[in-house]
Amino acid sequence: MKKFDIPEHYRSSIISTIKELRKIKDPRKKDFTPTELNFGPVKFYIARHFGFCYGVENAIEIAYRTVEENPGKRIFLLSEMIHNPGVNSDLQQQGINFIMDTEGNHYVQWDEITKEDIVLIPAFGTTIEIEKKLIEMGIPTEQYDTTCPFVEKVWNRAYELGEKEHTVIIHGKHNHEETRATFSHSVRNAKSVIVRDIKETETLAKIILGILPKEDFYKIFSGKYSDGFNVEKDLKKVGVVNQTTMLATETQEIADLLKRTMVDKYGEENIQDHFADTRDTLCYATNDNQSATYGLLNTNADLAIVVGGYNSSNTSHIVELLEKKFPTYFINNADKILSKKLIRHFNIHSKEEITSDNFLPTKESVKIVLTSGASCPDAYVDEVLSKILSFFNNTKTVEEVIESFKQ
C-alpha cells in the first residue's frame, strides 16, 4: 500500500512500532486478537487495527502539499477535512480557512471567494451541487479533491444500481457530510432513500410488504428520500450502500433484512430481479477497525479508552461496541485524563463531556483496552498510553515491553 507523506508530529514511536511488528507477523490481517503490552502494574490491550486509514492519510498529504506549493495564496476547505479537532486545528494554523461547518452553515460566503483562491474538497467528498458551484466560479477542483476513493466507490456503485433501475438504500446519518454527498451523487441516476439503522429499515420493510400504509413512508422518511419518490413503484427493486463509517455489520444486517423482505414479497426464484448484492462497497478500514474491536471484546480488561474526535462516526461506533462490555471512556486527547482518578470524556448518548471519578481501579494489575478511530493520529494514542503509565510506579520501560513483544 502507498506510503503517505504526513507530518512527523502525527507519527508515533510506540504504536507505529507495534503496528509494524504485527504487520510482519500477520501480513494478511487474519489475526484480529489485540496486542498485549504488559508494563507490570498496568497492562494494555492494543487493537489489531486502528488509526489513520488510506483516505485520511491521502487527504492530509494533499492538504499539506497544497499549502507548501502555494505560498501567498488563500486556501480554503469546504468543511472539516476529517472529524478530528487536533488535525483540523493544525490545518487552520497552516492558514487554511473553513468555508462551512459540518452542518453546511457558512463561515465564509461564496461571494468572498474568487477564482484565484484554492478550495480543498474534504475526505468525505461533497455534493454535486457544490462541485458545480465551484466550477461555475472558475475554481479548479480535481487537483485539490481529497475525497476518499472508498467513498467514490460507493458513488459509482449507486450509479450502477440506478442504471439497472434499482432504488438505492443508503445506510447513514442523513445530516453527515458523507451521506449528504452520497445522496447527492445517488439521486442523479436513481431514486434514493436514507435509513439510519436497522430499526428504520424494519419500518421500511413493513411499508414494502404493505403491513404499514404507504403514506407512513413520506412522514417517517421526510427529508431522506429523492424528489418524486413513488412508494408503489420505487421500492420494487433495491440495493444497499452505506456511509463508509457506519457499522459494517449493521449495513449487512440491513441488506439481509431487505433481501428477505423481497423474497417474502416476490419469491426466492425472483430475488435477482428485486435485490442487488452490494457488499463489495464496504470500506476495508472500517471493516478492519470493527473486526479489531470485536477482538478487544474477548479480553478481560477493566476498562476501555477510545481516542478520537467526538463528531467522528466511525469512532462513536467503536465506543458503542466496547461499552457493551467495559466502562468505556471516549476522549479526544491525553489532556482529558486529568489525574489518576479523574477523566473528562464524551458521552455519546447525551452528546456532552462529563467528568468521571476513580476511572482507574485500585488493584495490583490494571488492564486497559486502548484504541482509536480512523481519523486519529497514532501519536495521540502514544500520549494517552504514556500519561497513564506516568501514574504507576515500577513500570517496565517501553523499550523492554516492545523487545519482549518481538520475541
Q: How far apart are CA 130 and CA 139, in angstroms?
A: 11
The domain at 54-144 falls in which architecture?
3-Layer(aba) Sandwich (3.40)
| CB contact at 8 A, 110 and 134 | no
Q: What is the pTM of this model?
A: 0.89
296, amino acid identity? L
Residue 300 has φ and ψ, to the nearest 5°, of: -110, 50
What residue ranges do the domains of the chain occupy? 8-53+285-406, 54-144, 149-282
The domain at 8-53+285-406 falls in which architecture?
3-Layer(aba) Sandwich (3.40)
Q: Which of 406, 404, 407 is nearest to 38 (CA)?
A: 404
One fold for 8-53+285-406 and 54-144: no
Q: Name, in order, each residue with C-beta under 8 angstroms of 266's C-beta and a sequence gap of 6 or more.
A: 273, 274
Does the active-site annotation cover 200? no
Q: What is the pLDDT along the chain (407 residues), one digit of tens a residue?
A: 567 788 888 989 899 999 999 999 999 888 999 999 999 999 999 999 999 888 899 999 999 999 999 999 999 999 988 889 999 999 999 999 999 998 889 999 999 999 999 999 999 999 999 999 999 999 988 899 999 999 999 999 999 999 999 999 999 999 999 999 999 999 999 999 999 999 999 999 999 999 999 999 999 999 999 999 999 999 999 999 999 888 888 999 999 999 999 999 999 999 999 999 887 666 778 888 889 999 999 999 999 999 999 999 889 999 999 999 999 999 999 999 999 999 999 999 999 999 999 999 999 999 999 999 988 999 999 999 999 999 999 999 999 999 988 87
- End-to-end CA gap in the chain: 26
The C-alpha cell 512527523 sits at 8
Q: Name, in order, each residue with C-beta under 8 angstroms of 284's C-beta and a sequence gap of 6 or more.
A: 150
CB atoms under 10 Å from CB of 395, counted, come to 17
Domain 149-282 has CATH 1.10.10.60: no
Catalytic residue among 57, 80, 177, 178: 178
Q: How far apart are CA 66 and CA 83, in angstroms?
A: 20
pLDDT of residue 54: 87
Query: Which ranges in 323-362 belong to alpha helices (H)?
Result: none
pLDDT of residue 2: 65
Report the SS3 class of residue 57. helix
Residues forming beta bridges with residue 35, ordered by sequence position:
46
How far lies 46's CA from each of 36, 52, 53, 188, 355, in Å?
A: 6, 15, 17, 43, 24
